[in-house]
Structure 1
Amino acid sequence: MDSSFPDLEVDLREFNESYFMESSSCNIVSLAMSLLSIIIAFIGLAENAIVLWHLGFHMHRNAFAVYILNLAVANFLFLCTHIVFSLETITVNFHSINTYIILFLNTMCTLAYLAGVSMITAISVEYWLSVIWSNWYHGRRPKHTSAFICTLLWAVSFLLSLPHEIICGLLDNIYNWGICWKFKLIIVVWLLVVFVVLSLSNQALLFRIFCGSQQTPMTRLFVTIVLTALVVLICGFPFGICIYFLYWTTDVYFIMPCNSFHETIFLLSAVNSCANPIICLLVGSIKHCQFQCGSLRLILQRAIQDTPEEEDEEVEEVVEQEGGEEDEEDEETTTL
């Protein structure tokens, strides 16, 4: 009798055991990353809700606050869809989501993502214009420019997202492959344009602040914009490149252990949507190189204030007076 059969059985048994252990560990890694994404997304929802509440109802909005308000809306919508998709990944073995619901969620996810990265670019470009052409910006800039640009960016994002999801999602078959590829290519081109403009505008800002012949004071708004743009470049754009450019390149999903490339990209996108409120809180809390506490409204007002730190005391007094007046109005309403 051939003695190689027992060895073959042992090898097969060892292979099956190692494969089972590897697949189990990979499932644990995937589950852990999905749960971490959900936790970060819920934290981001609370943060962006706070920003929406204060900027939307309790603060005077300047040109840049309008952008940050719309950015918070985009991040909030993106995190909502992110949570649903993460929960669907965890519970995929228990139930399936309706096709039309998936279409709606994909459209909202793409819309919010494109609007978010576009808002960051618009903020960076407008701040660069305010530094380069300060006299024109403060004297001749139309009053509702920020609202108009935000509306335009939302419209462009919607026109890019809805046809893409209908063609590539609802009507996905071999005959629509070429059309779907073209829509994805259009989105990738838009993302590349946004990436280049965002990178160049921030480089120009840094050069102007630190190396320019004319001394330009650094403001908290400048720090907020640069840090937010840096997070978007590192954590935000990989999501778009992965979803829309590497859609048919399956080899990229195997470059990380346990094929966790997709989970990693989703985790980074959740971090990106949570970053802006945290940056605003950190930048607004620092005063004279020290952390100082205060109301959330005051901290947010500091973070978006385009004035040198020495001039912020006047703005803070105005904000505190407005806060005191609102508190008195609330007490009168409660008494009545």
Structure 2
Amino acid sequence: MMNFSLGDLDATENYYRYKNTRDSYENAREIIPFDLGWIALVGITFITCCVGFVGNGYIIWLLGFQIKRNCFTTFIFNLAFADFGFLASIVIYVIHQFTYFLRGNIQFHFFAFFSHMMYISSNFLLMAISIDRCVAVLFPIWHHCSRPKHLSSTVCIFLWTSSCLLNGIMRIIKVFVNYSPLNFHFLVTAIVCLPLITLSTVVLFIQVCLKLKQKNQGQLLLMILITLLCFLILAFPLSVFAMIISFSSSKADDQLKYWVMGSILFSCLNSSINPVIYFLVGRKKGTQSKESMKVILQKIFKEGEATGGR
């Protein structure tokens, strides 16, 4: 069985701490048996991450250099960047499972800090997007006329800083106090993000049902609603399973290993699927025209301006 730490992002710390010498890595290669099922699951995760690289990278390039920025695209740009970074961390870890190239403590701490920060930032940004759309729906006049011009950029900076500080504190506690607050960041995102995203999903679902025929809002709200639902179904279980692993006394249980590895795969799917959602929701239905991704994004994100984007 390949090392279980891939199934739990924070458990990588124990993995590296246990194998932080050359002898440990060489010994690990000898004791890990060949498991086709595990390798297949890791391979699917790797392929999913590569597909997500292409999609999110293209979104970053379009929103960064090709499409005029507004308040809504600022959120989407940062979300795509966070998803891209999270997928990169998973790819690095998958490669490490076969090469064991991350040997030093400094390398590990940097990798753990980066992966956790990207995961939490992605959750925070999705929460901000959901709240922004709810405000646009519930208070359209204020959102259109009185919303601060640089509010989106300010919120993104605040969320990235919060994620960085949260992970930095966890790293400092681990290094200097020798205490591992396993998955505390997952607990924070669960307490902060889940209720707000769930409430926003309900509000937007009602709005989509009531105003589905209004073209000036239907596509954008539908896109955000599907994105939020994908998060609740695919991404959030990672936090749940990470918490289970942290406090479970049966960390070596093979079935639990596969379940948690599956949650990692679902989280990668969630980080990879957003560009597909943008394309499917934004394209013209019932026509033969082949619109480029740039045209589709320009069309659908203009609704952000129409509903108060600044």
- TM-score normalized by the length of structure 1: 0.74
Instruction: Look up the match of 1:334.
Output: none
**What is the DSSP-based 3-state SS (H/G/I as helix, E as strand, rest coil) of the residue aligned with 1:194?**
helix
Q: Distance in 2 between matches of 1:235 and 1:148?
A: 28
The answer to whether the aligner puts 1:269 opposite 2:277 as a matched pair is no
Instruction: Look up the match of 1:225.
Output: 224
Match of 1:77 among 80, 85, 92: 85
Instruction: Look up the match of 2:17.
Output: none
Alignment size in residue pairs: 273
**1:241 and 1:162, CA in 2 relative to 1: closer, same or farther beyond 3 A?**
farther
**What is the DSSP-based 3-state SS (H/G/I as helix, E as strand, rest coil) of the residue aligned with 1:227?**
helix
Displacement of 1:270 in angstroms is: 1.1
Unaligned runs of 5+ in 1: 1-22, 312-336
- TM-score normalized by the length of structure 2: 0.79
The answer to whether the aligner puts 1:117 opposite 2:118 as a matched pair is no
Instruction: Look up the match of 1:322.
Output: none
Displacement of 1:250 in angstroms is: 4.4
**Deviation digits for residues 186-235 of structure 1 (CA, Å, limit 9, x no counterpart):** 641332220110010110122233258xx896421111111111111111
**What is the DSSP-based 3-state SS (H/G/I as helix, E as strand, rest coil) of the residue aligned with 1:293?**
coil
Q: Distance in 2 between matches of 1:51 and 1:186?
A: 27
Aligned partners of 1:235 and 1:268 also within 8 Å? yes
Tell me whether 99-108 or 189-198 shows the greater mean CA deviation: 189-198
Displacement of 1:288 in angstroms is: 4.2
The answer to whether the aligner puts 1:101 opposite 2:78 as a matched pair is no
**What is the DSSP-based 3-state SS (H/G/I as helix, E as strand, rest coil) of the residue aligned with 1:236?**
helix
RMSD of Structure 2 on Structure 1 (CA): 2.7
Q: Distance in 1 between matches of 2:155 and 2:206?
A: 26
Displacement of 1:172 in angstroms is: 7.5
Aligned partners of 1:220 and 1:304 also within 8 Å? no
**What is the DSSP-based 3-state SS (H/G/I as helix, E as strand, rest coil) of the residue aligned with 1:57?**
helix
Aligned partners of 1:41 and 1:79 also within 8 Å? yes
Aligned partners of 1:222 and 1:306 also within 8 Å? no
Displacement of 1:167 in angstroms is: 2.6
Displacement of 1:292 in angstroms is: 3.9
Pairing 1:1-336 to 2, within 5 Å after superposition: 27-92=35-100, 97-168=103-174, 170-171=175-176, 173=178, 176-177=179-180, 180=181, 184-185=183-184, 187-211=186-210, 218-244=217-243, 246-251=245-250, 254=253, 256=255, 259-285=257-283, 287-290=284-287, 292-306=289-303
**Deviation digits for residues 289-330 of structure 1 (CA, Å, limit 9, x no counterpart):** 55642122102223323279xx9xxxxxxxxxxxxxxxxxxx
Aligned partners of 1:253 and 1:262 also within 8 Å? no
Task: Choose 1 or 2 for highest CA Rg.
Answer: 1
**Deviation digits for residues 239-265 of structure 1 (CA, Å, limit 9, x no counterpart):** 2233356413144774837x3123212
Unaligned runs of 5+ in 2: 1-31
Aligned partners of 1:209 and 1:216 also within 8 Å? no
Displacement of 1:36 in angstroms is: 1.1
Aligned partners of 1:67 and 1:123 also within 8 Å? yes
Amino acid at match of 1:269: S
Aligned partners of 1:160 and 1:187 also within 8 Å? no
**What is the DSSP-based 3-state SS (H/G/I as helix, E as strand, rest coil) of the residue aligned with 1:247?**
helix
